[in-house]
Amino acid sequence: MTDARPLGADEAAFIAAAGSGDPARFALVTERQRRELQVHCYRMLANYEDAQDLTQETFLRAWHKRESFQGHAALRTWLYRIATNACLDFLEKRNDRTPRPVEVPGEVWEVPHLQPYPDRMLPEDPQEAVVARETVELAFIVAVQHLPPRQRAVFVLRDVQGWPASKAADALGLTVASVTSALQRARVTMREQLPGRRLDWRSPATHELSDDERGVVKSYIDAHERNDLDGLMSLLRDELRFAMLPDPGTVTIGAEEAVDGWVSGGLFQRGYDDWRGIPTTVNRMPAAVLYRRAPGDPEHRLFVIAVLHVVDGKIAELTGFDAAGQPWLGLSPTL
């Protein structure tokens, strides 16, 4: 299948670079596509490091196939096709990338390989940014992981990228009928995994944080810095979805139970009671970076990043990551 379009500037530049046989020139042309291809791979894989690797794999495959590109399809389409199939090949080899049930009360999902995505690496294109927020939020990324790999690819290409069924079928080597069937099944799963969420991801939605979200992050940090457990509890919804990765699973627990569990685990006790925090965003979500000062240490050291989903001024979901283990977030090691 081809796109009904004249040869564009990107396509002409790519063909010229491919014909030159100059890898540096080729890299210069394809580099413009890196950010959106990396986000595409992240949606498929839920892991920032894997998304980086598969984006690079996409460019390597494109280099080896460069003579096959004649400009009949848009360069972007051609690269997305390569990236999608590279991710499918990766998932076929990695059977540890499917969510598995865990014997934990209130278990919702287990995606231990989930990693946060730095906002500074998201596409700069305003049109992409408009739709990016809900399709890079952690709950969305996790929900997508519940889809079988090929169904996942169909869903991302059709409902996130907005490709017509014929174009997605051509990219994946499927029939239009099988693409349509896979999309219907994927939508059912996504509705089950994201109850109460907006499900039309292609229509415009602001990616800016609301005043509510900013206020909750500030209050969350203040509660830590003051060791204010009542204040912290007041920020949580009665039913909180909580995960601390890479520990397995997300649990749904009450606000009081959540705080009691954190205290019994040692938080807000001696050695874990001297906090400083800064607000940030990852995955276009509000987040708090928390630094802890141990007794005798002159500095507060990077400890955890808490990514928050705020609903009606309360934290409905809290996903914690070992901040020191996510170097690509570019966080200062001390504060």
> Is 241 within a domain?
yes
Are 3 and 84 contained in the same domain? yes
Structural domain of 54: 1-93
Are 319 and 235 contained in the same domain? yes
Q: Which residue would you say has higher pLDDT here, 198 or 141?
A: 141
Are 251 and 308 contained in the same domain? yes
How high is the pLDDT of residue 129? 54
Rounded to whole angstroms, the Cα distance separating 316 from 291 reads 23
Asked which of 77-81, 241-245, 289-293 is least confident by mean pLDDT, the reply is 241-245
Residues 78-124 have pLDDT tens digits of 999 999 999 999 999 987 666 655 444 444 456 889 999 999 998 87
Percent of the chain exceeding pLDDT 90 equals: 69
pTM of this prediction?
0.90
CATH classification of the domain holding 190: 1.10.10.10
Are 229 and 287 contained in the same domain? yes
> Is 135 within a domain?
yes
Are 44 and 23 contained in the same domain? yes
Residue pair 154/186 in contact by the 8 Å Cβ criterion: yes
The 3-state DSSP composition of the chain as helix, strand, coil percent (nearest 5) reads 50, 15, 35
pLDDT (average), residues 184-189: 96
> Is 223 within a domain?
yes
Q: Kindly tell me if the per-residue pLDDT of 198 is higher than 70.
A: no
The tally of domains found in the chain comes to 3
How high is the pLDDT of residue 103? 47
Longest CA–CA span in the chain (Å) reads: 68
Are 223 and 307 contained in the same domain? yes
Residues 121-180 have pLDDT tens digits of 988 775 565 556 789 999 999 999 999 999 999 999 999 999 999 999 999 999 999 999
Are 224 and 187 contained in the same domain? no
Are 246 and 200 contained in the same domain? no
Please state at what angle helix 126-136 crosses helix 138-145, rounded to 10 degrees: 70
